[in-house]
Amino acid sequence: MATHIEKVEVFCLQDPQADFVRFEGSYQNVLVVVHGENGLYGIGESDSPPQIVKALIESPPYNHLSCGLAALLEGEALDDPRRLWQKMYQHTNWHGRHGVTLHAISALDIALWDLFARTAGKPLNHYLAPEGCTGKASAGKGTGSRHQQLPAYATIYPMQEEPEAFKAQISPYLEQGFRRIKICVEPWWQDTEKAIANLTELRNYVGQDIELMLDVAMEFTRYEQLIPFVDTLENLGFKWIEAPFELDNLADHQRLKSSTLLPIGVGDLGFTTVKEFQPYLETNAFDIAQPDITMFGGISETLKLRDLIAPQGKRIIPHGYNTEITLAVNAQFLCAQPGIEPLEYSTSPSVLRQALILNPLEITSGGNVKIDTESPGLGAELNWDLVEQCRL
């Protein structure tokens, strides 16, 4: 018999030592905790402005199409997280069908899946394999983990401008065992010659055996700004180009896709439902879907995307630059998929990134992440002391 949802809590957290970072949300966090009547709880988060998400969850109803999300969930049976996702989606129609409302739904959906799996005494990955994603969710369905380890890549952000400085940034992660590094386009890339020289210096420093990826992070807005770097990226063996342009610029994504053999990744910044991916799928404008599960409607919507794009041979590698909760969600998702894809590993020094979870994922000497494929739910143990220290 399914447990019922007793209450929903929302915590807005702030790293007390943090300064503003231009393009990074790790120093703030919105944590949601969904409590069951059985005494268990599930946790989730969203890489989104905490106070806005909190307001969407805790607000009283405006009308039946504009409801606070907590009131929609409290008292409900936790029989199927996807049914509850649909209820939240239908009763926020007034807010619009995309954007920050989906961020709030994402955080809650992750917590609901965590509580659902914990209640059944099963790891979350049990429900995330393709064979287990149809029909009503239940404790008896799913095939569980396929992979006990996943390759991990360290995202370096912001990347320093001078070679000695960025080598000092990257060196600790190479020493830790990482074999994959992702860098980001920075404002200093406006000097094309300097950026190309730095890319070459980076490759010479890490050697040929280290995989490199590039996140443009929408620093460029036009095809003409990025194209001077493509030959260099190809010659240096980069594995993909991520978020090359703003997502409403479909035409330049198509141009880039047709002008390079480098895989193009999209969707980490801005997409919140499968609907937004469909024009990109129809025009073959990408190779890798990179939804952020904490913003892309949570686990429920990510499963829909996975099943939509798989028949066309598209890869799915979730974005993850938040706390260890996001890493746990992404790891549970990826370890249940047929192919092996890399797990993004944020290198943010934020205390929320480093210490919100008491049992973080381990990096092996070969640059892989060991996945907890047995503990119930996400397998993540919340650091309540830090929550109290950092809550606003």
pTM: 0.95
- Is 334 inside any structural domain? yes
Rounded Cα distance, 157 and 321, in Å: 10
- Is 390 inside any structural domain? no
Mean pLDDT of the chain: 94
- Residue where a domain terminates, one of 121, 138, 166: 121
Q: Please indicate, yes or no, whether residues 116 and 256 belong to a single structural domain of this protein.
A: no
Give the per-residue pLDDT at 23: 64
* Reported confidence tier of residue 142, pLDDT bands at 50, 70, 90: low
- CB crowding 74-95: b at 16 or more within 10 Å, else e: eeeebebbbebbeebbebbeeb
CATH number, domain at 315?
A: 3.20.20.120
Q: Please indicate, yes or no, whether residues 154 and 91 belong to a single structural domain of this protein.
A: no
- Is 144 inside any structural domain? no
Q: Please indicate, yes or no, whether residues 116 and 153 belong to a single structural domain of this protein.
A: no
The one-letter amino acid code at 336 reads A
Residue appearing with tokens 């002391």: 385
Rounded Cα distance, 13 and 180, in Å: 30
- Residue where a domain terminates, one of 121, 139, 159: 121
Res. 87: pLDDT tops 60: yes
Q: Please indicate, yes or no, whether residues 199 and 334 belong to a single structural domain of this protein.
A: yes
Q: Please indicate, yes or no, whether residues 222 and 305 belong to a single structural domain of this protein.
A: yes
Give the per-residue pLDDT at 269: 82
Give the number of domains in the chain. Answer: 2
Q: Please indicate, yes or no, whether residues 88 and 193 belong to a single structural domain of this protein.
A: no
Those residues whose C-beta lies under 8 Å from the C-beta of residue 106, and which sit 6 or more positions away, are 44, 46, 272, 293, 294, 295, 296, 297, 298, 301
Give the per-residue pLDDT at 143: 64
- Residue where a domain terminates, one of 121, 140, 175: 121
Give the per-residue pLDDT at 209: 97
Q: Please indicate, yes or no, whether residues 322 and 174 belong to a single structural domain of this protein.
A: yes
Q: Please indicate, yes or no, whether residues 182 and 111 belong to a single structural domain of this protein.
A: no
Question: Mean pLDDT over residues 135-155, rounded?
Answer: 72
Give the per-residue pLDDT at 2: 84
Give the per-residue pLDDT at 13: 96
pLDDT digits (tens, 9 = 90+) for 195-228: 999 999 999 999 999 999 999 998 999 999 999 9
Question: Mean pLDDT over residues 152-165, rounded?
Answer: 96
Res. 19: pLDDT tops 90: no
pLDDT digits (tens, 9 = 90+) for 95-137: 988 999 999 999 999 999 999 999 999 999 999 999 644 334 4
Q: Please indicate, yes or no, whether residues 164 and 62 belong to a single structural domain of this protein.
A: no
Q: Please indicate, yes or no, whether residues 254 and 357 belong to a single structural domain of this protein.
A: yes
Give the per-residue pLDDT at 51: 97
- Is 136 inside any structural domain? no
List the domain range (segments joined by +) for residue 89: 5-121
- Is 142 inside any structural domain? no
Res. 140: pLDDT tops 50: no
| The 3-state secondary structure of the chain, one letter per residue | CCCEEEEEEEEEEECCCCCCCCCCCCCEEEEEEEEECCCCEEEEEECCCHHHHHHHHHCCCCECCECCHHHHHCCCECCCHHHHHHHHHHCCHHHCCCCHHHHHHHHHHHHHHHHHHHHHCCEHHHHCCHHHCCCCCCCCCCCCCCCCEEEEEEEECCCCCCHHHHHHHHHHHHHHCCCEEEEECCHHHHCHHHHHHHHHHHHHHHCCCCEEEEECCCCCCCHHHHHHHHHHHHHCCCCCEECCCCCCCHHHHHHHHHHCCCCEEECCCCCCCHHHHHHHHHCCCCCEECCECCCCCHHHHHHHHHHHHHHHCCEECCECCCCHHHHHHHHHHHCCCCCCCCEEEECCCCHHHHHCECCCCEECCCCEEECCCCCCECCCCECHHHHHHHEC
Res. 25: pLDDT tops 90: no
CATH number, domain at 49?
A: 3.30.390.10
Q: Please indicate, yes or no, whether residues 182 and 281 belong to a single structural domain of this protein.
A: yes
Give the per-residue pLDDT at 136: 40
Res. 146: pLDDT tops 70: yes
Q: What is the torsional sign of CA 112, 117, 123, 127?
A: negative
- Is 387 inside any structural domain? no
Q: Please indicate, yes or no, whether residues 154 and 22 belong to a single structural domain of this protein.
A: no
pLDDT digits (tens, 9 = 90+) for 166-178: 999 999 999 999 9
Question: Mean pLDDT over residues 230-243, rounded?
Answer: 98
- Is 388 inside any structural domain? no
- Is 223 inside any structural domain? yes
